[in-house]
Structure 1
């Protein structure tokens, strides 16, 4: 298996100094031609012509990868005007931060429901050699691998969950961190760093949107009712324990059941509870 190429610094010189050398050789060649020393004139013109292709200008947040007869010769990441080996090819690689906005993908979530999901991935190249030589087209590679990671993420999480211990696609922070980690693992081979990855669009597929909305509302009501009942039962247990612990009343099983029933109705009922005064039960 071929070893992955790692970015390294290329040899370079100050471009302005070599520009002066090129100007001097050109002037000498012109003077030799005027002096009818044609051979020397041609030699200096050839030298000037060889110096010219070695000039390269590197802008901020940009790299130039140098290729010498098919072999990687290093990269120039420092911005400025330089002179490098004139026989090298100079491939430009942008190191700027870029966004990838995925298409709205139709996939099935962990529960098998068809959903529409999209995401935005913020990325940048950190290794120009890997970006150029380890993948065919690093920009296309970022797009394809990011969409693959989004599909994989959607298939592992349900669209929504009312249980606190079950994560869902609507859990923004946890899902974003999982998506960022998965995309970064896929893009590491291309020398790409993922700065941020977040879901930008999430909805049920149109054919089930209305049905799932009603189901979602029903599940929310059931979950809320369950919380209310759990809280009410806890309050009733606490009230009975306090009554018996402080000997406020002596209640038989029938009266305990009646009190539990009345307390649960008062705590769980949606509307206002109307009190009923019983004037004969305790003294009959």
Structure 2
């Protein structure tokens, strides 16, 4: 069962062909010989034996010229030609320039150049169910001409459909953003997301003989219906995160100040005044406005 599945897919092979320039020279030589023979026969007084030899030569010469001329074809750089014999695949010719094969063989040209595709903006629900808009840029090329021509009906349309499917799959597999940076997200882990998208595309397109060289997200945003609410949430999360860092820093600074005051015997504070100093320092360090200093001209204790 597995062998039948393996052999069901086409595989590119190298087709037989020769340089078209050699056959062009042979055709030109044949043209010159045929023309010279005709002119020589017309300018002389041929006998019966000459006529017997002349008629087959005149008939076969043009036929051979037409036969040779029918086998020429041109392949440009980064282009290939699939050779067919009455519907049977005989191989692929990737040698660019003027080429020649038997005239009864048909040729189907296919480009193996790199193609750049920018997908449409797709609306997808991310891992948390939030609707987002996502689009990707994909650089792909044909790596196996036999699979591209014979294993799928339209390999270009196949590529477009698979790009859309892969982008939707990646978009629904991860959350859009994570303010705590504990998860892999679409917005925060571009390299990982792009690498996974390329791997998935190559797995999907191997059936059509397509290889993805590069891909990446070109558009990523919340859908318009929730963009305002998500922006406010992001702003609130950013404020909370900033406040958290500010408080952590303030606690550290207060602890350091009290430790140094105690170690250097600058002042001795009881628990009540230590609590008051901690409260004042936290207000100064965490407040959004500049602190106004108060000069105590009296004694330390009232």
**TM-score bracket relative to the smaller structure:** 0.7 to 0.9
The equivalent residue for 1:180 is 198
- 1:142 and 1:42 map into 2 onto residues whose CA distance is 52
SS at match of 2:169: helix
Instruction: Please give the per-residue CA displacement for 1:130-173, whole angstroms capped at 9, x wherever unaligned.
Output: 32233322211211111111111111222222122323222333
SS of the equivalent of 2:185 reads: coil
Match among 199, 219, 239 for residue 201 of structure 1: 219
1:55 aligned to 2:60? no
Match status 1:259 vs 2:277: yes
Per the alignment, residue 111 of structure 1 pairs with 128
Cα distance 1:88–1:236, how it changes in 2: closer, same or farther (>3 A)?
A: farther
> 1:233 aligned to 2:290?
no
- Correspondence for 1:124 among 141, 159, 174: 141
1:17 Cα deviation (Å)? Answer: 1.2
Alignment partner of 2:284: what SS?
helix
Cα contact 1:62–1:92 (8 A) shared by 2: yes
Structure 1 runs not aligned, ≥5 long = none
Cα 1:66–1:235 shift into 2, 3 Å: farther
Partners of 1:281 and 1:95 lie apart in 2 by 90
Aligned match of 1:269: 287
2:158 is aligned with 1:141? yes
Contact 1:103 1:118 in 2 (8 A): yes
Shift of 1:75: 2.0
Report the Cα offset of residue 107 of structure 1.
1.0
- Are residues 15 and 236 of structure 1, via their aligned partners in 2, closer, same or farther at CA, if it must alter by over 3 Å? same
Query: Which residue does the alignment assign to 2:47?
Result: none
**1:83-134 C-alpha deviation (Å, 9 max, x unpaired):** 1233322221212221111111111111111112112112222332332233
Change (3 A) 1:261 1:86: farther
Give distance in 1, aligned partners of 2:147 and 2:217: 27
CA distance in structure 2 between the partners assigned to 1:238 and 1:181 by the alignment: 51
After TM superposition, the structure 1 = structure 2 runs for residues 212-251 of structure 1, keeping only pairs within 5 Å, are 212-251=230-269
Unpaired runs of 5+ in structure 2? 43-50
Please tell me whether the aligned partners of residues 119 and 150 of structure 1 are also in contact (alpha carbons under 8 angstroms).
yes
Would you say how many aligned residue pairs link Structure 1 and Structure 2?
Answer: 284
Contact 1:29 1:43 in 2 (8 A): no
Corresponding residue SS for 1:159: coil
Task: Choose which of 14, 25, 29 in structure 1 pairs with 2:19.
Answer: 14
Q: Pick closer, same or farther for the CA change 1:262–1:2 going to 2, 3 Å.
A: same
Change over 3 Å in CA distance of 1:256–1:51 after alignment to 2: farther
**Which residue pairs with 1:167 in the alignment?**
184
Report the CA distance between 1:24 and its aligned residue: 4.1
Measure, in 2, the Cα distance between the counterparts of 1:100 and 1:144.
12
CA contact (8 A) 1:58 1:79 kept: yes
TM-score of the two chains, using structure 2 as the length reference: 0.81
The CA distance in 2 between the partners of 1:282 and 1:41, in whole Å, is 130
Cα distance, 1:9–1:247 mapped onto 2, change above 3 Å:
farther
Q: TM-score, normalised by structure 1?
A: 0.86
Secondary structure, counterpart of 1:194 in structure 2: strand
Point out the structure with max Rg over C-alpha.
2
Q: What secondary structure sits across from 1:122 in the alignment?
A: strand
